[in-house]
Structure formats: C-alpha cells, structure tokens
Amino acid sequence: MSRNHSMLTAGEMTRRAALQRTLLGAGGLMLGGALAPQARAQAKAAKAKAVIQIWMWGGPCHLDTFDPKPEAGNDFTGPLTKPIETNVSGIRICELLPLLAKQADKYSILRSMTHGINGHETASYMVQTGHKPGDGTVYPGVGAVVSLFKGYAGGYKGLIPPYLVMTKLQGRFAEAGFLGSRAKPFATGGDPSQTPFLVEGVVAEGITDKRQHSRRELLHSLNTLGQMAPDDPQVLEAARSEQAAYDLILGDAGKVFDLSSEKDTLRDAYGRTRFGQSCLMARRLVERGVPYVTINYEGWDTHKGHFQEMRRKLPELDKGMATLLRDLSDRGLLDSTIVWWGGEFGRTPRVQWDPPWNGGRNHFGKVFSHVVAGGGFKGGHVVGETNATGEDVKSRPVYVTDLITSMYDLLGIDCNAKLPHPQGLDVCVMKPETGVAGSNKLTEIM
C-alpha cells in the first residue's frame, strides 16, 4: 500500500510541477516586480489583441501556394499548371486551394519576402525573431515578446498561459531567447483531432475529474510540510500554485480544450486532421483571450516526392485555414486577431527532377511568400512581386523586420521599448538596423 502511495505521489507531483511551471513559468516573467509596470508603460494603442501564427515548418513553396507561375513551364510548375482566380480580381493562387480562393478578401499576400538564408535553424531564427543570427545575442521570438507585453503585464488574467503552441515546440531555435525558460511557450502535446485531446499536464487519458479530486486529497494527506508550517510564505505560494493548477485541470478554463462542445459541421469544415482541429483550437483560445497561439504545421520540407505531398497537404491546409478565417470573421474576432501564415523560407522554383529527388524542391531563402490577415491588416491585396519564374524579387522586397515591426505596431508594442536582459544590456524590442535591410512597415496594407 505504501509503495502504491509512493508511486502515485511521485506521478502526481510531476504533473503538478509541470503545471506550476506552465502557469507561473510562462507568465512568471510578467508577474510582479519591475517588469509588469515597465511593459504596461510601454504599451501603445492597439488594433490587434492576439496573433495566430500558422508556422509552416520546413518551408512551403511560393509557386505551389500563393505565387503561381503557370507560364514558367514544367521545370518550375510541375503538374500544378492551372491556378485559380480568387474572389479578388487579379489575384490567383494554386488550384489546390479553392476554399482560400473564396476568402482572398480577408488576407493579403506578401510575395516578395526575402532574407537569403537557406539553413533551417538560421532561417527559422531570423523569421521568428526578426534578428540576424550570429551577433552573440539570442533574441526572443515574436510569441515571447507578445506574451511579455500582452500577457499578464498587459492585463491578461487567464489561467491558460499567454503563449501556447499547438502541439509541439519547433525545436529549431530557442523561442524565449535571453528572456529565459520562464518565457517559453506551453506546448500542448497530444492531437486535437483525437477524443479526448490529451493536453500535457491538463488532460490525461482515463483520468476522470473524480479521480483527480481523489489524488489531490491524497497529496494533501501526505503533505506534512504544509501541515507543519501552513503560514510559511513558500508554503502559501505553493498552495496558490496548486490551486491555480487544479482550477485549470478541473475548472472552466481547461474546458477550452474540449472540442466535443463544437458542432460536428464546424469540426468537419475545419477538417478532422491534426492541423484542422488545431486551427479550431486556436480560435477557441483567442476567443478566451490568449494573446499568442502558434500552430506548428509540420511536413513542408519536401526534398523528394514534392508534388505527391502537395496533393495531400494543400487540401488539408485549404480547409483548416479558410475555415479559420471565416470562423474568426463570423464571430467578430478577425478585426482583433492577426493571422500570420508562413515558414522559414520557400523552396526552389526550379524543380529537381533528377534522382534521388525525383521531383523535389530544395531550400530557398532568396524569395518566398507569407500571408497576413486581420488585426488591422487589410485583405485583398498583394505586396511585392517576383519575376516570371519566381526566382527573384522584382519589386518591393519585404524583409522580416518589415513584417514583424508592422505586427508589433498593430499590437500596440513599441519597437523602442526595452526588453529585460539578464546581464542588464540595453536591448530594444526591435531596431531597424537588426534586419537584413532597413525597416519599411507594410503601410500599404495597414
């Protein structure tokens, strides 16, 4: 009996510790101390309240998504030769994205993104932070910065951490940078297309609410330190952490992860896939006030069998993203939610037909596409242009700093605001000179 109690206690303490790190860790950087007043003082008027980032891990090809080149020939188009008109005159996208074609009035396409980096790690760091790698400082990603200014210091009061990733961390760079582990996002784990959605530290398979209550009672009976020193400040803080953790597990906050409350027709529209249901989950989270949600969408590093993979992945993307835009719009959330789609780079416009690639595309940081919608960004526009084969920027190059500073502006985050640095260095949110080139905000679509 004592052995079973010991095993249960260890398991439960692990779950509780994980939750405490999530609840007080992800937001802990913003709680109390000098950081919270600083962030509040440096916040500006904002059009956007939240960001949903659709991170296309591996790098999607612009020619096969939002910048088709049907006249370029088979060596560039492969079998995707019939782009379709959208509901905005003059804008065409890939034929495998018919639902997104009907939503083009809600988003704008940045066709001339460029940074020239072809390595996953360095390109991911550049796109996620807006800073060039190699200067000796590891900067925080956009999600960590947004959670600093729009999280607990910015008035967010939810139990769900202010920076959340569906469903696992990217693993290509340190999301929190020098802000440290307390600013890392909470990765849900699990698969939202499964029932139940097993969220790490919140929802466990086969563990009922009744059993959770029983475990909590057992923990209390074994907590001799808490019984001996109930008024000790550290004991009181641990008790508050535990209460917050159980409020998330057993209270209304945790129910946001239960997608069974959504209509089957809506879930079907999103697509019963990990990506589709992640999009639905992201809508539910921003509806609850969570300021930053990343959907980590894997599978776009298509060196081999590229077009076979596109025929599987693009319809999945089409359903999830198009329904997300429509759902946010129908609920009045799109005006206050930035949707940011894109990966670390694009893929080579010229198809690699030779073995062992057999119709693959390699890494290509010279030019690629991103898409933005909502939160103050206009829809129905194209920014920038590529040449006839999609290999070069023809007009209006868009640098990562242009995009990120524009998002910060819409979020009311001052790019000159100081970030807390562990060594006390004078570091701003974003300076124009940190980018590949100067900073030109996307004023044409803001």
Domains of the chain, CATH where assigned: 1-30+198-243 (no CATH), 33-197+258-445 (3.40.720.10)
Among the listed ranges 61-65, 134-138, 391-395, which one has the minimum average pLDDT value? 134-138
End-to-end CA distance of the chain: 65
Among the listed ranges 13-22, 66-75, 253-262, 299-308, which one has the minimum average pLDDT value? 13-22
pLDDT at 297 over 80: yes
Distance from chain centroid for Cα 98: 24
pLDDT at 303 over 70: yes
Sign, CA dihedral 235-237-238-243, equals positive
pLDDT at 111 over 60: yes
The predicted structure's pLDDT at residue 173: 78
- Cα 407 to Cα 2, 214, 273, distances in angstroms: 55, 46, 29
Distance, in Å, from the CA atom of 151 to the CA atom of 35, rounded to the nearest integer, reads 12
364 Ramachandran zone, left/alpha/beta (phi>0; psi -120 to 50)? beta
Pick the residue with more confidence: 318 or 246? 318
pLDDT at 246 over 80: no
> If pLDDT is split at 50, 70 and 90, which confidence band does 37 have?
very low
Region 301-317: what's the mean pLDDT? 97
Q: Which of 401, 386, 344 has its CA nearest to residue 63?
A: 386
pLDDT at 28 over 60: no
> If pLDDT is split at 50, 70 and 90, which confidence band does 35 have?
very low
The predicted structure's pLDDT at residue 172: 77
Say if pTM beats, i.e. exceeds, 0.75: yes
Region 182-204: what's the mean pLDDT? 82
Sign, CA dihedral 42-47-52-57, equals negative
CB atoms within 10 A of CB 212: 16
Region 213-241: what's the mean pLDDT? 52
The pLDDT mean for the chain works out to: 84
Distance, in Å, from the CA atom of 56 to the CA atom of 53, rounded to the nearest integer, reads 9
Q: Which of 372, 375, 374 has its CA nearest to residue 383?
A: 372
The percent of residues in the chain predicted with pLDDT above 70, rounded, is 76
CB atoms within 10 A of CB 233: 8
> If pLDDT is split at 50, 70 and 90, which confidence band does 89 have?
very high
Per the omega criterion (within 30 degrees of 0), is the bond before 196 cis?
yes
The percent of residues in the chain predicted with pLDDT above 90, rounded, is 64
The predicted structure's pLDDT at residue 174: 81
Tokens 């992800």 -> residue? 26
Among the listed ranges 60-69, 114-123, 224-233, which one has the minimum average pLDDT value? 224-233
Among the listed ranges 36-40, 296-300, 322-326, 421-425, which one has the minimum average pLDDT value? 36-40
Most confident of 26-40, 108-122, 174-188, 246-260: 108-122
The predicted structure's pLDDT at residue 265: 98
pLDDT at 425 over 80: yes
pLDDT tens-digit readout, 120-169: 999 999 999 999 988 889 999 999 999 999 998 888 888 889 999 999 98
The predicted structure's pLDDT at residue 256: 87
The predicted structure's pLDDT at residue 248: 57
Region 161-178: what's the mean pLDDT? 88
The predicted structure's pLDDT at residue 227: 54
The predicted structure's pLDDT at residue 440: 86
What is the chain's Cα-based Rg?
23
Sign, CA dihedral 108-109-115-119, equals positive
Pairing state of beta strands 163-166 and 292-297? parallel
Region 41-49: what's the mean pLDDT? 75
Q: Which of 96, 167, 124 has its CA nearest to residue 368?
A: 124
CB atoms within 10 A of CB 307: 18
Alpha carbon dihedral 198, 200, 202, 206, in 10-degree steps, equals 40
pLDDT at 224 over 90: no
The predicted structure's pLDDT at residue 88: 98
Q: Which of 369, 287, 306, 373 has its CA nearest to residue 112?
A: 369
The 3 state secondary structure assigned to the chain is CHHHHHHHHHHHHHHHHHHHHHHHHCCHHHCCCCHHHHHHHCECCCCCCEEEEEEECCCCCCCCCCCCCHHHCHHHHCCCCCCEECCCCCCEECCCCHHHHCCHHHEEEEEEECCCCCCHHHHHHHHHHCCCCCCCCCCCCHHHHHHHHHCHHHCCCCCCCCEEEECCCCCCCCCCHHHCHHHCCEECCCCCCCCCCCCCCCCCCCCCHHHHHHHHHHHHHHCHHHHHCCCCHHHHHHHHHHHHHHHHHHCCHHHHHCHHHCCHHHHHHHCCCHHHHHHHHHHHHHHCCCCEEEEEECCCCCCCCHHHHHHHHHHHHHHHHHHHHHHHHHCCCHHHEEEEEECCCEECCCCECCCCCCCECCEECCCEEEEEEECCECCCEEECEECCCCCCEEECCECHHHHHHHHHHHHCECCCCEECCCCCCCEECCCHHHCCCCCCCCHHHC
Sign, CA dihedral 95-407-325-260, equals positive
pLDDT at 361 over 60: yes
Region 393-405: what's the mean pLDDT? 96
The predicted structure's pLDDT at residue 218: 43
Region 333-341: what's the mean pLDDT? 98
Q: Which of 13, 15, 113, 2 has its CA nearest to residue 67?
A: 113
Q: Which of 290, 247, 244, 252 has its CA nearest to residue 20?
A: 244
